[in-house]
Chains A and B, each alone.
Chain A
């Protein structure tokens, strides 16, 4: 947790925690691909899931986005952007996939 009044040590600890979590999540994702243990679609889903969690870790520990009142504006901005991104990306993939299928 990081706020304007937190001590230097708390802040360093926050960055270190984030770093540690990110390392673990990265390691897990690479490991699960390097040593395949599941079906390929499952592996992909796990990798993407780990990526999503790691992004949240970055936002939380490096960018200080949280549910606190003072961070809320930025949170809303990120959530709205995420909505737009999801609309655009999923729309693109669905439409273009549909077109490819109909072309075959």
Chain B
């Protein structure tokens, strides 16, 4: 690079940072794939910009969605982000499976450095930019409706969390185009991720993306916890909350207390890398085991953050589609709370092999086994809910059934791993990889997909296509088994995780099966997009404006589909569990209120988008050592927050007459709708009104 100011302006950027330049200089399959990925990102971004411009929707997008503080819109945007990132991370998984199937005593087509980036981005994206946004989006959408509230406690903070997460996801996408990503896995262990061994930009991208995301999640947890604690409608005491709200509450508590250890771990690593500190370095007193300790203090509660909302979805879905009250409400609540508290006591099981005494390992092993018990209680409760119920095998219910059977298998392998002596044999093998995917896919992902199918009609006003839903379901289940069961065998046989090449021919058949499984999983994802396309095309036939397509039990079903911006014209008052269900049976639902009042809601705000973009830009500057950019970013963030605090006009009033018109329109649609029995709920006869 030329002398002068350019080095200061451009930091450590040089042309080699672009995958196109790398592929040009070294046209191997690996580099060409990398360049191809970058090209896809650039073309997609251009495509989206052009499409929005062509449709003339910039103003609409800005004022209706991007600056909205409505929890429903924010929830939908989170889930859109999740689906986009799921697509990327799943393709990365397919590439890794293909490489391992190809690379038996042969270099394969993906170079080791690229393979390492793939498993690092795959893990980081799936956890921080797919799973967390998906569950945050579901809770954001559904929870305030279920507690009879009009929004969350801190709507502006909600938007800021969304945009911090979005900005961090943007940083992940930019790392495909400019530079490279970390090769240290999603856990980023030093000393490998210290400057001595990872001097490039990759680890910095990872640190900053994860830190921004974790700040967003901490604020979200805070927001949800205060909302649930303070904004429940009259009559809804804690033991009358739907299970989904209970799991949201426990998840929020976990977010509040578990994200800080991650912030500390990555911040200390950043201090080592940027300022030459010695927290985790090999020399001058660094202690890399403290990183493992800090990371897993976060990491273990994190996996319960991922699974508890899914458990909440299953409680809702199993009850609704068994046409029966949820069995064992109190035991489900206690089990959820027990899981939440115990999750802070087991973190050492992630590093049994790293040198502690057998006594310490034994203590943590015992607690790890114990934490399986409350989950078992929940499984029994769901089974008893189905027992003597009228089970309807809808797509959400199918996911729940597949979950119950498959997740339990994974849980059993978890008990195996909980024994330190057994863990010593399979630690960091594919056995572990199979175990956690066995928890995350049938547990978390199926739960999220079940929730997506279950509440989609509420959010958008029309049902999803059931046939394609079943096709997707079949592919997810079949693909999961094909892709991951062989990994148990391989892991027990000794194949290590995160390996770009394999030298044991006996592994070949299993890796082929796993490769086919990955392709089936890709078809599953594709089927979901086809389903969405078909559903949108057929939406008019499947509208459920009356709002209750499944004869639901909770308050969220007592509004129109989609609900009005203010959710409830009059805040409901409840007297027990399943208030809407009981109301329908007592002929108490759909009664127009005696009078309407003005409703005050938060006004849109650009603080969220501004902070998200500024944060991402600051992070980019830090990654590339463009100190001027980072400094501007920090100052801009502080200025944004201070400026916003001076804005006084932050509310909008929705007038009573407008509310009356909206409600009357909905109630007359309800009156005109034909109530349907459950047998025809998947046909176009379903207008969203249930026959009682």
Contact = CB atoms under 8 A, between A and B. Distances in A.
Say if the two chains contact directly (CB < 8 Å). yes
Interface of A: 73, 81, 84, 87-88, 91-92, 94-96, 98-99, 102-103
A96 B287 CA distance: 9
Interface string B335-352: 000000000110110000
Contacts of B354: 99
Contacts of B669: none
Contacts of B345: 87
A98 B297 contact: no
Contacts of B297: 88, 91-92
A81 B356 CA distance: 27
A94 B287 CA distance: 15
Contacts of A94: 360
Given A87-B344, A96-B289, 20 more contacts: A73-B229, A84-B257, A87-B345, A91-B293, A91-B297, A91-B348, A92-B293, A92-B294, A95-B289, A95-B348, A95-B356, A95-B360, A96-B287, A96-B290, A98-B356, A98-B360, A99-B289, A99-B354, A99-B356, A102-B357
23 contacts: A84-B257, A87-B344, A87-B345, A88-B297, A88-B344, A91-B297, A91-B347, A92-B290, A92-B293, A92-B297, A95-B289, A95-B293, A95-B348, A95-B356, A96-B287, A96-B289, A96-B290, A98-B356, A98-B357, A99-B354, A99-B355, A99-B356, A102-B356
Contacts of B347: 91
Contacts of A95: 289, 293, 348, 356, 360
Interface string B521-538: 000000000000000000
B355 A81 contact: no
B261 interface: yes
A54 B229 CA distance: 30
A16 to B, nearest CB: 32
Nearest to B344: A87
A103 B356 CA distance: 10
Contacts of B261: 88
Contacts, number: 38
A81 B260 CA distance: 12
A95 to B, nearest CB: 6
Contacts of B293: 91-92, 95-96
Nearest to A84: B257
A88 B260 CA distance: 11
The 10 tightest CB contacts between A and B, nearest first, are A84-B257, A99-B355, A98-B356, A99-B289, A87-B344, A98-B357, A92-B293, A88-B297, A98-B360, A95-B356
A96 B521 CA distance: 42
A53 B388 CA distance: 58
Contacts of B348: 91, 95
Interface in B56-93: none
A91 B348 CA distance: 9
Nearest to B287: A96
A103 B355 CA distance: 8
Given A92-B293, A96-B290, A102 B344 contact: no
A89 B389 CA distance: 48
Interface string B256-300: 010001000000000000000000000000010110011001000
Contacts of A87: 344-345
Interface in B323-378: 344-345, 347-348, 354-357, 360
A99 B291 CA distance: 13
B163 to A, nearest CB: 27
Nearest to A102: B355
B344 A84 contact: yes
Nearest to A93: B293
B232 to A, nearest CB: 14
Interface string B139-168: 000000000000000000000000000000
B460 to A, nearest CB: 38
Contacts of A92: 290, 293-294, 297
Nearest to B345: A87
